[in-house]
Amino acid sequence: LAAVGRDGLPPVVNVAGGQPLPVRALLERAIAVSGRQVGMAQRAFAGVTRDFVFDTTLLRTHLLQAETPLDDGLRAELAHMESLA
């Protein structure tokens, strides 16, 4: 949100951490942070798998004064989503 309305910034800034984290591991951390018991469904996938690496250069250059630890960010995001319910 800090990028909204700021002149000179590119139209999209990816917000992602600088360390690789599989989606399943991210889900496991989000579940742990929530303190809830949540099951995960898994299904077979026959398509081409891909590994994505997000370039955080723009984020670090234009917006980020300090990094938020992942678990703290997940807690804040969960609190925000719960406030919308």
Of 1, 17, 19, the residue nearest 63 (C-alpha): 1
At 56 the pLDDT is 72
Whether the predicted pLDDT of 13 surpasses 80: no
Question: Which tens digits make up the pLDDT trace of 25-45?
Answer: 888 999 999 999 998 888 888
* pLDDT, greater one: 13 or 43: 43
